[in-house]
Amino acid sequence: MNKYKVCVYAICKNESQFVERWVNSMKEADAIYVLDTGSTDDTVLKLQDLGVNVKIEIIEPWRFDVARNKALDMVPEDTDICICTDLDEEFQPGFRKAFEEAWSKGADKLKYNYIWSFDEYGKPATTFYMTKVHKREGYKWIYPVHEVLNTLPNEREIIVPEVVLEHRPDYTKSRASYLPLLELSVKEAPLDARNRHYLGREYMYHKRWNEAIDTLIQHLDLPQANWKPERCASMRFIARCYLNLGRKKEAEMWYKLAVQEEPNMREAYVELASLYVEEERFLEAYQLLTEAFQIKNKEAIYINEAFCWNDYIYDIMAQVCYNLGYYPESLVNINKALEINSNSERLKNNKVIIENALKV
């Protein structure tokens, strides 16, 4: 007999394509509860056929926190471990046993490995620790979008690194609601640094460069904006916006500030090096990439960018070394890039060019 009662809960709308995969990956739980917020496909029927407890409710006006809290309301009060996931996610087998072992140590919340995205080769790209496993009593979801669980006084949060949840979404699905909801989030909590950062990033995604710059600078000015990786990301995003406005000097300045802000992450080094390559400032790019390679630890935080750890960083270093006449080092890096991306004809051609230069 299981020591704890474990329940999964979720919200969904028109996610028929994911139902079977999701339910199969959640079956280690004692029960599964889903709040459907207005599907027009056969999502509800599929869930019910697989034994899922389903409730249908339209949330107006739409907010993710309200929807998740209504889904949590479906979970029985005597549940020990509540697990919130989305239908485009799936656990690797064995999550229940690992969660129960951690729970026996007196946890209120659990963190686990979340693979948010995969690169073009099917390998994990952006990975970080997620916190959507919690005790039943006292918790609720906050914020209209990019919602999170509230924090309880003296809560105990335990990391369970062996548990992996994979995110395999439908990238054609619209994210149109995110921007107005983020604007609402900032209006409701103007001093919340996280939401301000997300809003600035969303403006950048929408190519609203000047609004993104203004909002990200506002983020940096907030007293609560003291998490260096996020501050560094805001600075990098400001630089990207300036690049898109054709203002390279401002972009360079912000990239340099980003490097100073968080010198223990690769991202700002690599982005600034890319700018220098475009300007044929190869020695400066080489120095930056050399520093980036000294950083061996990829932290499990959502700020990570895949290009700092895949073939791109080796590819650009190979180009830089070639242009500086460092042909042996260029060959080492192109080979490393090809180890990751062996099907790239461009990389193969570049390798031939480098090998020919070595023969001269």
Over 80: is that where the pLDDT of 2 sits? no
pLDDT in tens, 226-273: 999 999 999 999 999 999 999 999 999 999 999 999 999 999 999 999
- Note whether 163 and 186 are same-domain residues: no
Question: Model's pTM, two decimal places?
Answer: 0.91
Alpha-carbon distance 140 to 87, whole Å?
Answer: 20
Q: In which band, very low, low, confident or very high, does the pLDDT at 170 lie, cut at 50, 70 and 90?
A: confident
Domain of 134 in residue numbering reads as 6-167
CATH number of the domain that 237 lies in? Answer: 1.25.40.10
- Could you tell me if 87 and 22 are in contact, meaning their C-beta atoms sit under 8 angstroms apart? yes
Residue 268 lies in a domain: yes
Contacts of 9 (CB under 8 A, 6+ apart): 32, 33, 34, 35, 71, 72, 74, 75, 82, 83, 84
Reported as a pLDDT band with limits 50, 70 and 90, residue 175 is confident
Instruction: Print burial letters for 195-232: b (CB count within 10 Å at least 16), e (below 16).
Output: bbbbbbbbbbeeebbebbbebbebbbebeebeeebbbb
Per DSSP, 308 falls in state G
Write out pLDDT tens, residues 139-152. 999 999 999 999 99
- Domain-terminating residue out of 134, 167, 200: 167
- Which residue, 167, 191, 207, sits at the end of a domain? 167
Residues 146 and 190 in one domain: no
Asked whether the predicted pLDDT for residue 277 surpasses 80, the reply is: yes
